[in-house]
Amino acid sequence: MSTLFAPIELGTLTLPNRIVIAPMCQYSAQDGNATSWHLMHLGQLALSGAGMLIIEATAVEAEGRISAQDLGLWSDENEQALASTLAQVRRHSAMPIAVQLAHAGRKASTVPPWLGGQLRPSGEGGWRTWAPSALPFTPGNEAPQALDAAGLVRIRQAFAAAAARAARIGIDAIEVHGAHGYLLHQFLSPLSNRRDDAYGGSLENRMRFPLEVFEAVRAAFPAGRPVGIRVSATDWVEDGWDIEQTLAFAAALKVRGCDFLDVSTGGLSPQQKISLSPGYQVPFAERLKRDVGMPTIAVGLITEARHAESIVASGQADMVALARGILYDPRWPWHAAAELGAQVDAPPQYWRCQPRELKALFRDARIS
């Protein structure tokens, strides 16, 4: 029996297996609205046989977008567009669908990566960004505006409002984005948070706003539907955010009803030094799972089925998430199930493609 293909419960939600499709920005929205690209993108991934699909970083306010082409959930139009897309996808897939709610902070107002990904200044078609402190991500960039008390309230309420919208359109789970150098991570790290009020300085103070945001999202989303968070377990920079601080943050989240941790690293500083290798972030997920006792998702250069199986079978993490790997191979879960002797959900329109020796590979995924 493959552990990777065993079900797992998050709150009242049961995932059919431990393969998660990570949120991946598509830079293809219009004024925050999902487009035909999102229907194609999410539709194919929803037929992949994975256990859960997490929709890309979805901005809770317009100024919180990474780029002007980011998906959003701050307006009625955003909500209606995403609801329409999901309705089409769900006609053919019962896969649980989550959304990652996000605010980019000082890393907002950029151009899409295929155009260079650089900051677009407010005088050149971009906008002034927000952050805990007026420190730019890269020296020489336009400095962000430091959030005042009213700004903190506005963004906290924006997260809660987006969570309520997600609930109305039937989203199964929420992942709060607290990683990769975006706003909540900026509050956590002493490298980007130089405030001298109740939201800066000590670890307790730096955790305060991210915890307030999590509480607001949890309160706005139906009880039982899981709410988790993505964290960067380290900045990979000396004197920055690290695993020990992440452990304290995770313990505080657990008390507040957090259902899972999606464990990544880095993204806060261009000074980061990372040595890449398959599964290089897995030890952080393992430490958090062991010491905090919360379900964890491991990510980062996990591309082989047996590697993924070993991660969950050995207890290093409860789930694994795929990003670029599943874009390259949208049927990765099918191939992993074939290699590991497991079964995977698939629509009947595709049953005839099973190789002759794998006639038991597919389960009926028809919507009842």
pLDDT tens by residue, 309-326:
999 999 999 999 999 999
Residues 204-226, mean pLDDT to the nearest whole number: 97
pLDDT recorded at residue 275 = 87
Helix (H, G, I), strand (E, B) or coil at 199: coil
Asked if residue 5 has pLDDT above 70, the reply is: yes
Residues 232-237, mean pLDDT to the nearest whole number: 97
pLDDT recorded at residue 171 = 98
Model confidence band, residue 102 (pLDDT cutoffs 50, 70, 90): very high
User: Of residues 27, 182, 280, 328, which has the active-site annotation?
Assistant: 182
Asked if residue 258 has pLDDT above 90, the reply is: yes
The H helix count followed by the E strand count for the chain is 10, 14
pLDDT recorded at residue 367 = 79
Residues 245-255, mean pLDDT to the nearest whole number: 98
**pTM (2 d.p.):** 0.96
Residue 301 CB partners (closer than 8 Å, separation 6+): 276, 277, 278, 279, 280
Q: Which residue has the higher pLDDT, 212 or 354?
A: 212
pLDDT recorded at residue 355 = 85
Sign for the pseudo-dihedral over CA of 266, 276, 293, 259: positive
Among 322, 343, 358, residue whose Cα is nearest residue 19: 322
Asked if residue 334 has pLDDT above 70, the reply is: yes
CB-count burial class (<10 Å; 0-12, 13-18, 19+) for 273:
exposed
Output the average pLDDT for the chain: 96
pLDDT recorded at residue 358 = 83
pLDDT recorded at residue 368 = 66
Asked if residue 96 has pLDDT above 90, the reply is: yes
Side-chain half-sphere exposure of 30, counting CA atoms within 13 A: 5
3-state class percentages of the chain: helix first, strand second, coil last, to nearest 5: 40, 15, 45
**Which domains does the chain possess?**
8-364 (3.20.20.70)
Model confidence band, residue 356 (pLDDT cutoffs 50, 70, 90): confident
Q: Which residue has the higher pLDDT, 65 or 348?
A: 65
Residues 44-73, mean pLDDT to the nearest whole number: 98
Lowest mean pLDDT among 108-122, 148-162, 221-235: 108-122
In degrees, rounded to 5, the angle at the alpha carbon of residue 234 between the alpha carbons of residues 192 and 103 is: 50
CB atoms within 10 A of CB 305: 20
Residue 329 CB partners (closer than 8 Å, separation 6+): 335
Residue 142 CB partners (closer than 8 Å, separation 6+): 119, 121, 122, 128, 129, 136
pLDDT recorded at residue 366 = 82
Region of 49 (left: φ > 0; alpha: ψ -120 to 50; beta: rest) is left
Q: Is 182 a catalytic site residue?
A: yes
pLDDT recorded at residue 38 = 98
Model confidence band, residue 134 (pLDDT cutoffs 50, 70, 90): very high
| pLDDT tens per residue across span 275-299 | 889 999 999 999 999 999 999 999 9
pLDDT recorded at residue 364 = 85
Share of the chain above pLDDT 90, in %: 92
> What are the helix (H) ranges across the chain?
36-46, 76-90, 149-168, 183-188, 203-220, 243-255, 282-292, 305-313, 324-328, 332-340
